[in-house]
Amino acid sequence: MQSASKVPVMPSITVLGTGRMGAPIARNLARAGFDVTVWNRTVEKAQALQDDGIAVALTPAQAVAGAEVLVTMLADGPSTEEAMLGDTGGLGALPAEAIWIQMGTIGMDWTRRLAARAAERTLAFVDAPVSGSDGPARDAQLLILASGADELRERVEPLFAAVGRRTLWVGPAGAGSALKLALNSWLAAITQAAAEGVTLAQALGLDPRVFTHTLADLPLGAPYAVAKANAMIERQFEPGFALALAHKDVALAVAAATDKGLQLPVAAVIDAVWGEAIAHGHGAQDVAAAVMTVERGGD
């Protein structure tokens, strides 16, 4: 019989943010055997995870007490900062030997700022945004864009294996966020191209499905863009990836480029027209609602 001291103990993990991505990530961690605690601003969303054996805390500070690993999966930089550094924020309560894995898409500046706050406490920090939407998150099929100190890899790999299909280690902390911004400016461009192709085909008297079927038959037709074009035709705007979050990423990409003295003309236009669509009330819809920016009247 194995002695008690040899039974492997799974690290305890806290997840701050149980939205569309954070909730399935927390569930998959619990299914893999980790001891999981969550916090979410809207507590009901966190409580929905209790049936999966996940503990719910009422503040970020309570949630991180005793955590060996912290995952933040919040909407953006400001909400992550608030959860970590606000009145009941998690940073001060996180044990000194814990690792903070920042998985939300927060861009370059916020990643630098929050990594610096972690460094002030000599906490280990991994920048690891993800590619893949709510479906891949549920199926533990995310692509993890990890970056950080080499010596942390071994400690975080079991967690990544529980939520993703593959982890790319791309450099020092910040490199993962850089890759994520480049990928999401691409996502925005092909989504807007899908919106314009669908609307143009229709305006020229075609059934827009002829456009998407042809696109799907060509190397031009990225599966993501074809899927979004079909969602636009079917008016399926139930969010997988909300337009407001996609817009945040385009704005982050434009800001990061500007910082480097670079212009992104396509991203800059998308930033403006998606901003208008959000002002017209489409921010909580799926990014496929970008089609509204092309339709008559822009709404």
Ligand X SMILES: NC(=O)c1ccc[n+]([C@@H]2O[C@H](COP(=O)([O-])OP(=O)(O)OC[C@H]3O[C@@H](n4cnc5c(N)ncnc54)[C@H](OP(=O)(O)O)[C@@H]3O)[C@@H](O)[C@H]2O)c1
Q: Which residues bind ligand X (CB under 6 A)?
A: 17-22, 40-42, 45, 73-76, 79, 82-83, 104-105, 130, 133-134, 240-242, 245
CB of 162 to ligand X, least distance (A): 17
The residue whose Cβ lies closest to ligand X is 19
CB of 129 to ligand X, least distance (A): 6
HSE (side-chain half, CA atoms, 13 Å) at 138: 4
CB burial class (10 A; 0-12, 13-18, 19+) of residue 167? buried
* Whether 90 contacts 64, CB under 8 Å: yes
Helix (H, G, I), strand (E, B) or coil at 119: helix
CB of 139 to ligand X, least distance (A): 13
For ligand X, which is the closer residue by CB, 70 or 201?
70
Query: How is residue 171 written in tokens?
Result: 């450099």
For ligand X, which is the closer residue by CB, 21 or 289?
21
For ligand X, which is the closer residue by CB, 133 or 214?
133
Q: Are strands 130-131 and 142-146 parallel, antiparallel or unpaired?
A: antiparallel
The DSSP secondary-structure symbol of 147 reads B
Residues 6+ apart with CB under 8 A from 13: 29, 34, 35, 36, 37, 67, 68, 69, 70, 71, 159
What one-letter code names the amino acid at 263?
Q
CB of 199 to ligand X, least distance (A): 23
For ligand X, which is the closer residue by CB, 201 or 271?
271
For ligand X, which is the closer residue by CB, 199 or 249?
249
CB of 261 to ligand X, least distance (A): 26
